[in-house]
Structure formats: C-alpha cells, structure tokens
C-alpha cells in the first residue's frame, strides 16, 4: 500500500484534528532517521546534515538533536533561518541553536562545504517539491552525490518526485531512504527503503476529516463550468426534495443546478429558489417515455442525481432503470431510485446514498456495529461495482477498495430532507473528486453543517437550515 504526497498531507492534517500534531509526527520522523543513521555509522563518525527550509529539513533538524551526543554532527541550512517555511521546522531549528549543536547557513550555491563526512543525511526536499530545482538546493543535491559517504535520504531522495519516481533534473543517489507512514509510489520496488511508523493514528485515515477538504482549493483562474453542472432528476409526489437537493449542490460549489421534474410541479420547484434551472417534462411523475430526452440532456452535464422526491411508482422505477441503463456518466442515486440499482445493467459510475433500511432493500448488509458494517459494505460495493455511502451515526463510505467512515452530524439530522441535501452535496463534489472521495467529503460536510446549526440554535433543525451552513463546512476553518 502506497500513499501519494497529496493524500499524505490530508492524513497529516486529519491527525492534527485528532490531537496528534504535525510536530509530534516530526519528532517521530527525526527519531526514525537517527536510528537509521546509527545503523550505518560508528560512534564518533562525522554526519553532515543538509536541510532545506520545509518540513523535510525539519525532520533532519530533529535527527540532528538525537545524534549530536554520539556523532560529530554539522547541520547546513539551505537559506536564511527566517525563511524556514513552517513554524514547526523553525522551532526545531531554534532547538539546535539552544543546544549549541553546530549549524551553518548556506546563502548561495557556492557556499556549501560538506567536508569529508562519513554519513550525509539528505533533508533537502521531500514531498513538498514543486517545479524545476532551484538554488541552492540543486547544488546541495550535487554535493551530496559527490561526497564519499553513506547517504541517507529523508522521506524521498531529494529531487525525485515522490508520486512518480521521476527525476526531472538531478536527485540524491541514496544508499538508504527512511520514508514515513507508508511507502510513496515513486519508491516502489526499491530495496533500500525503510518505512517508519511515525504514530499517525489509523483513525486519521479512516475518518473523514478537515484534511480531506484540502483538495477543494480553487485555482484562481477557474471559470464557469469548471465546478460542475449538476442535474437533479426528481420530484413528482414530492416537490421539496429535488429543490433542496439542487440548492445543496449549488451551496457545495456547483456552477449550475438543473432540476428535471414533472411540469405539474415545475412552478412550485422554481418558486423555492430563483437559482435553479428548472427543466419540466410532461405529466405528474417520471415515466419511461421521458427517458430519451433526459439522457440527451444528461450527456451535457457533469453529474446526475436521480431519486429525490420521485416516489416509487412502478413506471417511475422502470424509467429510472431505463435511464441508468443508457447513462454513462456519474450518477448519485438516492431514495426510491436505489431499489433498482442491484438489477440494473449500466456503464455509469454510480454513487448510492442509502440509509441502512434502503441498503437492506438493495440486498446489502444490516449490522449494528459500524466497523463490521464497514467491512461488509466494502464487500457489497465491490460486488455491485458502485460507490456506497451508508448513512448512520457513523456514515460508511466505500467503493470496494477505499473504505472511510464519517463521525460528523447529530441526532437533530433525522428530520426529513437532510438526505436530499446530502445527495446534492455529493453530486457537486463528484464533478471534481473521484466518487468515494466525493461521497466522503459530502458526508463530512453535511454533518458539519448540521452540527453548526444545532450548536447555534439547538435541535428543531430543518433540512433547509443546512443549506446556508454548507459553504463554511466545506471552505471555512481548516
């Protein structure tokens, strides 16, 4: 199992939210590095530590503190201490000064002199490298490769892309690599790598947390359409459900939300919100005769959400079946529409959002213990070939490969309509994220919105109260 740089940053942030700070992780990283250096060095050997200004360098500062009593340690910082990019790395640099451990500042590429060390510890660049190599980092990498020393790299050999293993320019030729938490994809197949457990709790990966929202950062050059055109197919016996769902999609950042609904209720749906683009079809409920037109419209949109307020009439369910059979994009399936999923033959990428009763109707597992449920839902999702988000006190999300759980939300959210809101957020997320991640973020944000509303006003929450709280849940405090 490997982990990408982006996922690692998310897990790190989730760990911090679980009260395991990045500084604690850095301490573990530095300790693991010091152990690796001890394995290749004799007491009294000289150890040249080359550190960049990010957390990769911070790990190396910690290692220096662990090694200084038994080795001849000298730390070279590539740049001025004021320009160290993170507080925790800067604090660990300060700790070296306070302990009177030998440090040097390398202010230009010609100033780096490693001497003739027995060991070089390479903390120049880790997973945070971006763009072409700059100075003095580039020269430091070249100097490390020239040294007649055993080279130990921190996390990844500096200059290498951790996700791909690509070296665009030069990279440190490491004899040993100590990587943290999990193997990085770019290091796969090498026999010189140690994976160090740095104390990240399993919960930081299992439970959706604020780190999962890091992928929602927006590029300032984005334009209309980049964040999704979401189409809700819903309504008939109910009018509020599709309107709530489509509004939630907008609050979750979709650019445009379309509601395809029977013309008998179209005016009512539009009346709830001017922001919606209502596209009526003839009659009082969805029927097979509407499917051809809906498929043509859906092909122009990024994501479809089918189910909210549709009802469970036989011909409506037939229409859902026909629609999914002909659709090839991403579809969030909710409410009555869920029951057709097990026997539909489709090329669509489905995200099903059942509560536990609906999951049982689909032929899925019904167990009380959430961890047991998670394992069974993963199996069920794999067999179905779909992503499933099972709503509950602990929401479970799985695409059969990745399984997550969500703990946000509260008993006030058992009120009608919150599921429509969740489906809407899921649809918006699915236009920029892969399906399992979209569902995970949606569950987290929906619950966070509900928690914010209840904190402010107490119970008595309406699903429509959630709408205004969605943006802060997604883009507020990280």
Binding-site annotation: residue ranges for (6S)-NADPHX: 55-59, 126-132, 155, 241, 309, 355, 420
Which one of 8, 49, 230, 461 is in contact with ligand NAX (CB under 6 A)? 8
By CB under 5 A, tell whether 158 contacts K ion: yes
**Near ligand NAX in 147-206, by CB under 6 A:** 154-155, 180, 198
Half-sphere exposure of 158 (CA within 13 A, CB side): 32
Which one of 153, 179, 339, 437 is in contact with K ion (CB under 5 A)? 153
For ligand NAX (CB under 6 A), the number of binding residues is 32
Is the distance from CB of 74 to CB of 48 less than 8 angstroms?
Answer: yes
Is the distance from CB of 236 to CB of 316 less than 8 angstroms?
Answer: yes
CB of 96 to ligand NAX, least distance (A): 16
Between CA 263 and CA 283 the distance in angstroms is: 6
Residue 55-94 contact track with ligand NAX, rule CB under 6 A, x = bound: xxxxx-------------------------xx--------
Sign, Cα dihedral of 276, 282, 285, 286:
negative
In 23-136, DSSP assigns E strands to 46-51, 72-78, 103-106, 119-123
CB of 107 to ligand NAX, least distance (A): 14
Residue in the structure block whose two tokens are 């959706």: 208
By CB under 6 A, tell whether 24 contacts ligand NAX: no
Between CA 49 and CA 30 the distance in angstroms is: 12
Pairing mode, strands 387-390 and 395-398: antiparallel
Which one of 54, 234, 354, 447 is in contact with ligand NAX (CB under 6 A)? 54
Q: Which 3 state secondary structure label does DSSP give 395?
A: strand
Residue in the structure block whose two tokens are 């001497």: 115
Which residue lies nearer to ligand NAX by CB, 208 or 245?
208
Which one of 92, 127, 316, 418 is in contact with ligand NAX (CB under 6 A)? 127
Residue 397 burial by Cβ neighbours in a 10 Å radius (0-12, 13-18, 19+): buried
By CB under 5 A, tell whether 28 contacts K ion: no
**Near ligand NAX in 128-147, by CB under 6 A:** 128-134, 137
Q: List residues binding ligand NAX (CB under 6 A).
A: 8-9, 12, 22, 25-26, 29, 52-59, 85-86, 125-134, 137, 154-155, 180, 198
Q: List residues binding K ion (CB under 5 A).
A: 56, 122, 153-154, 158
């Amino acid at each position: 199992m490997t982990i990408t740089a982006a996922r690692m940053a998310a897990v790190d942030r989730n760990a911090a939210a679980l009260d395991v700070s990045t500084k604690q992780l850095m301490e573990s990283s530095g300790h693991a590095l010091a152990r690796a250096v001890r394995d290749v060095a004799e007491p009294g050997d000289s150890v040249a530590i080359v550190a960049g200004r990010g957390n990769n360098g911070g790990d190396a500062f910690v290692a220096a503190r662990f090694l200084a009593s038994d080795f001849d340690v000298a730390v070279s910082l590539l740049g001025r201490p004021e320009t160290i990019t993170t507080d925790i790395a800067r604090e660990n640099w300060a700790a070296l000064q306070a302990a009177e451990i030998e440090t040097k500042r390398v202010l230009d590429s010609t100033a780096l002199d490693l001497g003739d060390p027995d060991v070089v510890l390479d903390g120049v660049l880790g997973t945070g490298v971006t763009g072409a190599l700059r100075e003095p980092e580039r020269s430091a990498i070249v100097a490390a490769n020239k040294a007649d020393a055993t080279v130990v790299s921190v996390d990844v050999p500096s200059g290498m892309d951790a996700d791909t293993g690509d070296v665009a320019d030069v990279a440190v030729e490491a004899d040993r690599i100590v990587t943290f938490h999990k193997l990085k994809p770019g290091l796969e197949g090498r026999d010189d790598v140690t994976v160090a457990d740095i104390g990240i709790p399993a919960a930081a990966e299992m439970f959706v947390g604020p780190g999962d929202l890091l992928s929602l950062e927006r590029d300032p050059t984005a334009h209309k359409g980049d964040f999704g055109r979401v189409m809700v197919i819903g309504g008939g016996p109910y009018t509020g459900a599709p309107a709530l769902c489509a509004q939630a999609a907008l609050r979750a950042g979709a650019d445009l939300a379309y509601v395809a609904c029977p013309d008998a209720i179209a005016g009512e749906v539009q009346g709830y919100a001017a922001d919606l683009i209502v596209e009526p079809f003839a009659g009082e409920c969805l029927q097979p005769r509407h499917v051809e037109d809906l498929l043509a419209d859906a092909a122009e949109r990024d994501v479809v959400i089918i189910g909210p307020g549709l009802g469970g009439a036989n011909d409506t369910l037939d229409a859902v079946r026909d629609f999914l059979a002909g659709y090839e994009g991403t579809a969030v399936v909710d409410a009555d529409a869920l029951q057709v999923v097990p026997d539909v033959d489709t090329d669509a990428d489905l995200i099903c959002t059942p509560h536990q009763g609906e999951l049982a109707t689909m032929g899925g597992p019904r167990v009380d213990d959430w961890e047991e449920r998670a394992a069974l839902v993963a199996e069920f999702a794999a067999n179905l070939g779909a992503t499933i988000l099972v709503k509950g006190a602990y929401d479970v999300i799985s695409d059969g490969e990745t399984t997550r759980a969500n703990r946000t939300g509260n008993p006030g959210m058992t009120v009608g309509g919150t599921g429509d809101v969740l489906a809407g957020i899921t649809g918006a997320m699915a236009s920029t994220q892969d399906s399992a991640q979209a569902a995970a973020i949606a569950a987290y944000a929906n619950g966070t919105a509900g928690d914010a509303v209840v904190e402010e006003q107490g119970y008595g929450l309406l699903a429509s109260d959630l709408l205004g709280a969605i943006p802060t849940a997604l883009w507020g405090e990280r």
